[in-house]
Structure 1
Amino acid sequence: MNTQSVNFDQLIERGCGIDVHKNLIVATIKGVGLQEQTRSFDGFTESLELLREWLKESGVTHVAMESTGVYWKPVYNVLEEDFEVILVNARHIKHVPGHKTDKKDSKWIAKLLLCGLLKGSFIPPKPIREMRDLTRYKRKVVDQIASEKNRIQKILEDANIKLSSVVSDMSGAVATKIIKALIDGEENVDEL
């Protein structure tokens, strides 16, 4: 059996491949003047800051991360100011099937990064990410408020209290006062 080795030009001088999991970050540095080294870190900020310092001390300029889910976000947030960071889809960098380990994955990612063979996912700039998070949170809160209003109306209907028949807005000032009075125990219809 004749096996051939395929070599690619090295386009990035010093890089780091990172395999990100919920509680484990495995990083491999590679490049010109560097002895290949792999280290493991946990997902806490203090550990991620140690990762950042290690990469800076090693002269790393580019970082490629593989992650599924949202576990990449804290790592990205810590590294984005000091390095060119790309997030790659795990499906796009599948290694040889079988005997998959985090250490092998991080080495493979580092190798592909140095050769310029990775295409990063689009990650918007920090202000846009923050605005998206705020907008999504606002939408969620508005949906929760609407859901609670519907739940209150259903409870009233189940109790045969036809408040929606006598007020135009179930969340208006009058309806709110009537509901508060009901909660406080008022049963006199004239008072309500």
Structure 2
Amino acid sequence: MAMRKRDDEVFPNAAGIDIGASSHWVAVPQHLAEQAGCEPVREVGAMTDDLNALADWLLGCGVDTVALESTGVYWIPVYEVLEQRGLKVWLVDARQMKYVPGRKSDVQDCQWLQKLMSLGLLRAAWRPDGEVCVVRAVARQREVLITEQASWVQRMQKSLVQMNLQLTEVLTDVMGQTGQAIIRAIVAGERDPKVLARHRHSRIKA
């Protein structure tokens, strides 16, 4: 791939970030690094203070756009901190970079990401705004809890059978009002069947 001149770059002040679990590698354009008197590549930590320091460095260099890989969930804090600091953040799929020829062997991932971003060869993934993200996170967590609830109910039913408490034979739903009242009484130490039966709802025919 023939390298364009800087005048032809779509995002001449773009940085690239290679996301990691405990640290991130960041590359800024060579001309911005020279103006700021710093190296164009830097490793930064993943803690909040580190990310704020990263934002300070990028803004100090004159970076206005940042491309970062959508690696697991590690990109989320980076994305949020940089966006809150006023930088335009592009979330990109790392697989995009594999299909662009011309990479040299001595170029780090963050540098290659920065170069492709500056040339406008990357596409940003859709990222909803803050309120939508919150609602989506709540909905996903609710789905997880519902799935886990079903699993724990099955475990509880198995434990009841092992103790020869055949609640499932007389109740269609042990998680209903009667089932929960009886189970709570058992957990509290009650063992008398007649006392436990008093927790039966009036609509239960068993």
TM range (shorter): 0.7 to 0.9
Identity of aligned residues (%): 33
177 and 6 in structure 1: CA distance in 2 versus 1, 3 angstrom threshold: closer
Structure 1 residue 67: deviation in Å? 4.3
Structure 1 residue 10: deviation in Å? 1.0
Task: Name stretches of at least 5 consecutive residues in structure 1 with no aligned partner.
Answer: none
What residue is the counterpart of 1:66 in the other structure? 69
RMSD value, Cα: 2.4
What residue is the counterpart of 2:186 in the other structure? 182
CA distance in 1 between counterparts of 2:71 and 2:106 reads: 16
Structure 1 residue 96: deviation in Å? 6.2
What residue is the counterpart of 2:148 in the other structure? 144
Kindly indicate whether the alpha-carbon contact (under 8 Å) linking 2:30 and 2:40 is maintained by their aligned counterparts in 1: no
For residue 146 of structure 1, give the secondary structure of its aligned residue in structure 2: helix
Kindly indicate whether the alpha-carbon contact (under 8 Å) linking 1:15 and 1:113 is maintained by their aligned counterparts in 2: yes
106 and 168 in structure 1: CA distance in 2 versus 1, 3 angstrom threshold: closer
Kindly indicate whether the alpha-carbon contact (under 8 Å) linking 1:170 and 1:176 is maintained by their aligned counterparts in 2: yes
The answer to whether structure 1 residue 90 and structure 2 residue 90 are counterparts is no
Kindly indicate whether the alpha-carbon contact (under 8 Å) linking 1:11 and 1:115 is maintained by their aligned counterparts in 2: yes
What residue is the counterpart of 1:13 in the other structure? 12
Kindly indicate whether the alpha-carbon contact (under 8 Å) linking 2:70 and 2:91 is maintained by their aligned counterparts in 1: yes
Q: Which moved more, 1:56-65 or 1:176-185?
A: 176-185
119 and 60 in structure 1: CA distance in 2 versus 1, 3 angstrom threshold: same
CA distance in 1 between counterparts of 2:32 and 2:24 reads: 24
Structure 1 residue 152: deviation in Å? 1.6
* Structure with more helix by fraction: 2
Kindly indicate whether the alpha-carbon contact (under 8 Å) linking 1:13 and 1:32 is maintained by their aligned counterparts in 2: no
Select which of 52, 56, 71 maps to 1:53.
56
Kindly indicate whether the alpha-carbon contact (under 8 Å) linking 1:11 and 1:116 is maintained by their aligned counterparts in 2: yes
Structure 1 residue 145: deviation in Å? 2.5
For residue 119 of structure 1, give the secondary structure of its aligned residue in structure 2: coil
181 and 56 in structure 1: CA distance in 2 versus 1, 3 angstrom threshold: same
The answer to whether structure 1 residue 37 and structure 2 residue 34 are counterparts is no
Kindly indicate whether the alpha-carbon contact (under 8 Å) linking 1:19 and 1:67 is maintained by their aligned counterparts in 2: no
Aligned residues: 187
CA distance in 2 between counterparts of 1:5 and 1:142 reads: 53
174 and 20 in structure 1: CA distance in 2 versus 1, 3 angstrom threshold: same
What residue is the counterpart of 1:156 in the other structure? 160
CA distance in 2 between counterparts of 1:33 and 1:140 reads: 45
What residue is the counterpart of 1:27 in the other structure? 26
Kindly indicate whether the alpha-carbon contact (under 8 Å) linking 2:83 and 2:89 is maintained by their aligned counterparts in 1: yes
Q: TM-score, normalised by structure 2?
A: 0.79
For residue 191 of structure 1, give the secondary structure of its aligned residue in structure 2: helix
Which AA in structure 1 matches 2:29? K
CA distance in 2 between counterparts of 1:162 and 1:16 reads: 64
Kindly indicate whether the alpha-carbon contact (under 8 Å) linking 2:66 and 2:88 is maintained by their aligned counterparts in 1: yes
For residue 52 of structure 2, give the secondary structure of its aligned residue in structure 1: helix
